[in-house]
Amino acid sequence: MYDRGRAAQMQIDARTLEQGTTIEADVCIAGAGAAGMTIALDLLGSGLSVVLLESGGPARDDQNDALSEGRMTGIDTWDLRRMRIRALGGTTGHWNGWCRPLMRQDFEQHDHIPYSGWPLKYADVVPWFRKACRTLEIGEFQWDADERARATGKRLLPVSDIIEQRYYQFSPPTRFASKYGPVLAQASDVRVLTFANVVDVRLDDSRRRVDGFLCRTLTGTTFRVHAGRYVLALGGVENARVLLASRSQQREGVANGHDVVGRYFMEHPHYYRAIGGVHPSALDLGFYRRGESDWRRPDGSAVQMLGALGLAAEVSRRERLLNFSATFQAPGTAPSTPAPVVEDRLPPAAAQALVTRGRGGYETTLLTVRAEQSPMPDSRITLTAEVDALGMPRVALDWRIAPEDDVQMRRAMVLLARELGAKGLVRLRVPGDATRFVWRQDPGGHHMGATRMGRDPKVSVVDVNCRTHEVQNLYISGASVFTTGGDSNPTLTVVAFAHRLANTLRSERRQERSTG
């Protein structure tokens, strides 16, 4: 738990500030979740004074959580109030620790994925991924399944090279509040303000620079932070919400001259109980069950891992398919979602005849598939007329998935089924047909893309350095900057980009000093 006693030094409850206070700093970071805390930690000792604003306090509470409420107008995703945590550490307070980086192909431009192609390469991010591995307390930045199988003495399924073997690593999971909160609270150059909400991003007369964050508490205290640089690290929905709601000077909000903020919202469609399978009991799925890896943390605990199957990048490219990773559900685990979307008229007992052919037992399995979706401008966050207790407009989240995505994903599943069938390993059941898909898409709680990165301001909000195209001293951190989402859980990539942004801020500081 977060040690309030130890953390008292530089942590200020914003409700105790005098009305109208102005706080000065070199850098103001809004949001003390994985992204915001990572940036603040990296700026320690940089000579930059930092103010870190957090909407909540040390622990989650209903009043603050209610600020996140919004309306779902598209695919019904989990409610935002439950998904987001407004407290120190943000959503790391309840994440499950799944870590995999975005993959090399996820950064590339693909003709079959509209609006794809990041303005940087995978290799550019690798140093920051390595650092993020340490921050999230996982093993090395090493993702070669052959090597991991050798190191752990586990066996990979003998599939051909159309399948790419992958694995997840699991963070303990790192709870940022308890792990890093005390470090920040003791730091002399970071001030953490709790219960502080940004309600307006105020621009200077040129409209090209932020002049200050106007902040408010639920008790009615209003104050202002004035800094040289500003970072929004409020989460995938709130980053867009604050920009859209900051319309006191511009009707369209801030950094939204091309009406891009809030658009291209992406999730990771999760397909939990749709893909069934049967396989011989003797099939060794040890690599694909969550278990210990060969890596150990400094405290001696083992980093856990879980094997997965995807398609090789070349196959995805050739077949014009989105990325996905499939894991086998552990035997005996309760389904986490409601009943199957497809009535199972052909019982596994029938299908088992095909794989065992009377020789030995069989087991049924379910695959959980985590999939990529194409970015689309109509999948978006907008503001409603309803306001929260701070007077901020609530969001309407219209999450959409292109119909072509469903067809692509089904084709991908059939390719996987064919490969597993050819090797006599598993027979898969894939719902739907070539034109109609009946999978139910569940969200992953991964809110991506609504302030996406790119070179062209007409289809992106931030540049390669996470700086907004339109406002020179405003940066955004978090999954909202993802150009495309791949299929990997976003936290490792979010933290990697936070490290990278902190480095940018330090570099800019050095540059300013050297040029006087």
Partner 1 sequence: MTSLLRREFLLRALAACGTVAYASAGPRGAEAAGAVPGAARSISAGYFGDQVDAVRVIGEAHLRQLGVEAGDASIRSAARTTLAMIERARDQPRAIRALEQAVRQDFERGRTVQVEGWILSKTEADLCALSLLEDDLSR
What mask, x for binding partner 1 by CB under 8 A, covers residues 455 to 494?
Answer: ----------------------------------------
The residue among 171 and 441 lying less far from partner 1, judged by its C-beta, is: 441
Among residues 166, 427, 469, 499, the one that binds partner 1 under rule CB under 8 A: 427
271 token code pair:
């397909």
Please tell me whether residue 335 adopts helix, strand or coil conformation. coil
Among residues 121, 357, 455, 510, the one that binds partner 1 under rule CB under 8 A: 357
Does residue number 347 form part of the binding site for partner 1 (CB under 8 A)?
yes
Phi-psi map region of 173: left, alpha, beta (phi>0 left; psi -120 to 50 alpha): beta
The residue among 74 and 424 lying less far from partner 1, judged by its C-beta, is: 424
Instruction: Return the range that interacts with partner 1 (CB under 8 A); candidates 83-91, 286-294, 309-317, 350-358.
Output: 350-358
The residue among 195 and 362 lying less far from partner 1, judged by its C-beta, is: 362
Nearest of 257, 309, 329, 262 to residue 413 by alpha carbon: 309
Pairing of strands 270-280, 427-429: antiparallel
**In 368-467, alpha helices (H):** 403-422
246 token code pair:
């900051």
The residue among 236 and 432 lying less far from partner 1, judged by its C-beta, is: 432
Rounded to a whole number of angstroms, the minimum distance from the CB of residue 78 to partner 1 is: 27
Instruction: Return the range that interacts with partner 1 (CB under 8 A); candidates 322-330, 340-348, 450-458, 461-469.
Output: 340-348
Locus of tokens 């994440």? 95
User: 326: how many CB neighbours lie within 10 A of its CB?
Assistant: 25
Number of residues that bind partner 1 (CB under 8 A): 29
387 token code pair:
């306001």
Cis? peptide before 457, omega within 30° of 0: no
385 token code pair:
């007329």
Does residue number 418 form part of the binding site for partner 1 (CB under 8 A)?
yes
Among residues 89, 97, 276, 485, the one that binds partner 1 under rule CB under 8 A: 276
User: Using CA atoms, how far apart are residues 286 and 301, in angstroms rounded to an integer?
Assistant: 20
Does residue number 345 form part of the binding site for partner 1 (CB under 8 A)?
yes
Question: What single-letter DSSP state applies at residue 404?
Answer: H
Among residues 282, 353, 387, 389, the one that binds partner 1 under rule CB under 8 A: 353
Does residue number 346 form part of the binding site for partner 1 (CB under 8 A)?
yes
Does residue number 359 form part of the binding site for partner 1 (CB under 8 A)?
yes
Angle of helix 491-514 relative to helix 122-135, nearest 10 degrees, comes to: 100
Binding region for partner 1 (CB under 8 A): 276, 342, 344-347, 349-354, 356-359, 414, 417-419, 421-422, 424, 427-431, 433
